[in-house]
Amino acid sequence: MEVVIVPDAKAGGELIAGAIGALLSRKPDALLGVATGSTPLPIYQALTAKVRSGEVDASRARICQLDEYVGLPAGHPESYRSVVLREVVEPLGLSEASFMGPDGTAEDVQAACEAYDKALAAAGGVDLQLLGIGTDGHIGFNEPCSSLASRTRIKTLTEQTRIDNARFFDNDISQVPHHVITQGIGTILESRHPILLATGEGKAEAVAQTVEGPVAAFVPASALQLHPHATVVVDEAAASKLKLADYFRATYAAKPRWQGI
């Protein structure tokens, strides 16, 4: 696992957008896994700016969802499909044909989960998967004690996660669904390059447990330690509880530029 400490969220967004641009230059039709929430917005903003300036060609890129609420009506503004279309697909000038995600409105949710897992494999697998992290260490919606071998499936959200997400529903927790479809940890680990971005002091403990703690289902993000090419990008606040922060700064400063992230 590589840990990169950046000054702030904007710098993290620029760094990761640069990595996506480098990937698209090598593989123009790369499948990019995207996350929702406020944390990855600087990535999408920086990538959109690079596309519009002509620095990056994303015209053949493909986009896939990490997760989706169960039960929100089609077209609901806070369904993750709507959010990804609004924040990623449309700004990059892509069409819905380039986008794939699980069906949170399906009558048979389990079948929808299995179908999405198969669709990702049929698409050649995810080349780069963007991740955020919850205050309890979850990635996707793999809550604490999720199986580290789990596949795309339905999960029940913890009360804390529903509280954290209420800000997207007019701060009314009663509107936040109780269930989601999420890529499982095993599914996420099949991506060729997972990149986790964490910002803010509120994520510091989860980051420390993810990077320096044991691999444990209690901290789902810690499973990234098992991946041969996982990158964790954190701002100074999110890095504040890392015991090896100085080491991570030194190793990244000494890294050859051609290696990228």
Residue 154 is encoded by which pair of tokens?
């339905």
2 is catalytic: no
* SS3 state of residue 235: strand
Which of these is catalytic: 87, 103, 138, 164? Answer: 138
87 is catalytic: no
CB 241 within 8 A of CB 203: no
As a whole number of Å, the end-to-end CA separation of the chain is: 11
Q: What is the rounded distance in angstroms from the CA atom of residue 21 to the CA atom of residue 53?
A: 12
**Partners of residue 231 on adjacent β-strands:** 2, 195
Residue 253 is encoded by which pair of tokens?
């400063």
Q: Where are the alpha helices (DSSP H) in 27-167?
A: 41-53, 80-84, 109-122, 159-165
Q: Which helix (H) or strand (E) holds 205?
A: helix 204-212
138 is catalytic: yes
246 is catalytic: no
Residue 245 is encoded by which pair of tokens?
């922060």
Which of these is catalytic: 67, 68, 127, 164? Answer: 67
Q: What is the rounded distance in angstroms from the CA atom of residue 105 to the CA atom of residue 111?
A: 12
Report the 10 Å Cβ neighbour count for 122: 9
Q: What is the rounded distance in angstroms from the CA atom of residue 23 to the CA atom of residue 260?
A: 10
Which of these is catalytic: 14, 103, 117, 136? Answer: 136
Report the 10 Å Cβ neighbour count for 115: 15
Q: What is the rounded distance in angstroms from the CA atom of residue 42 to the CA atom of residue 249?
A: 22
* SS3 state of residue 69: strand
- Catalytically active residues, by annotation: 67, 136, 138, 143
